[in-house]
Amino acid sequence: MPEYSDMEMIAYTGSRVLEDEKIVFVGTGLPIIAAMHAQLTHAPNLYMIYEAGSLAPVLDMGMPLSVGDTRAARKAMFLKGLCSAFELTQRGFSDYAFIGGAQIDMYGNICSTMEGANYDKPTIRFPGSGGAGAMAANCEKTIAIMALEKRRFVNKVDFLTSIGFGDGSPDYREKAGVMGSGPYRVITNQALFGFDEKTRRMMLLEVKPGLTPKDIQEKVSFELVIPPVVKEMVEPSDHDLSLLRDVIDKDGYFLKKKVQK
């Protein structure tokens, strides 16, 4: 198999998760790359919502560098601004929310606000939700994307920015007044996770070739649900890498970033 980077593996796996004839609300960076790759391969009728207000733009001027990039508005079938974009999700017109974060727990709750015990004096202050909090609350399913590091996969998030299954109770999301079925997939450079239907805990689905479920568990602070059969992650082909490197992110704005070792 050809050599690929961690970011390329994340983007390619994100593409594999997306389906044709669906609508995905994308965040900046790897989610956009994954969605563009899916459009160019197995999901030509995948449509993207951008936070700045566009739905289903034609990205023939290249990859938008942010959700507010004017390229994300080109030939869009809907272009009415931020509030209208989120109204679409509240009306049930988004199958997936595709978001990132700094921390995630076993129930798919995501923190992108801060790290530390004191909100007023955090160890690290992150950029915050952007639109991710509303996306996780209103879109039908949430796909999270981040590097596999123990500091990110924590027992309890330091701040609940984007709602998942809360404390894992069956009616948590309903009582919280949010829509959608909640967390669906967590995509990393070394593993693909889903969620157990009964317990709502994070479940290991696939591991990178050469690794074992034990290797993945050692990089997660909480106990994973590990089924009897765990598949190997599909690796990107030369064609996939060519699309990622030479067509989508030609300047390596996002794909050349490194995962902290």
Superfamily name and number for 6-248: Glutaconate Coenzyme A-transferase (3.40.1080.10)
Q: Residue 51 catalytic?
A: yes
In this structure, of 28-32, 98-102, 126-130, 145-149, the range with the lowest mean pLDDT score is 126-130
Amino acid letter for position 235: E
Among the listed residues 134, 139, 133, the one whose alpha carbon sits nearest the alpha carbon of residue 112: 133
Instruction: Evaluate if residue 189 carries a pLDDT over 60.
Output: yes
Copy the structure tokens of residue 110: 């995501």
* CA–CA dist 230, 215 (Å, integer): 13
The domain segmentation of the chain, as residue ranges, is: 6-248
* CA–CA dist 101, 113 (Å, integer): 9
Instruction: Evaluate if residue 90 carries a pLDDT over 70.
Output: yes
Per-residue pLDDT, averaged over 239-260, amounts to 91
Instruction: Evaluate if residue 218 carries a pLDDT over 80.
Output: yes
Which one is catalytic: 3, 21, 51, 223?
51
Answer yes or no: are the C-beta atoms of 57 and 32 closer than 8 Å: no
Q: What is the CA radius of gyration of the chain?
A: 17
Amino acid letter for position 228: P
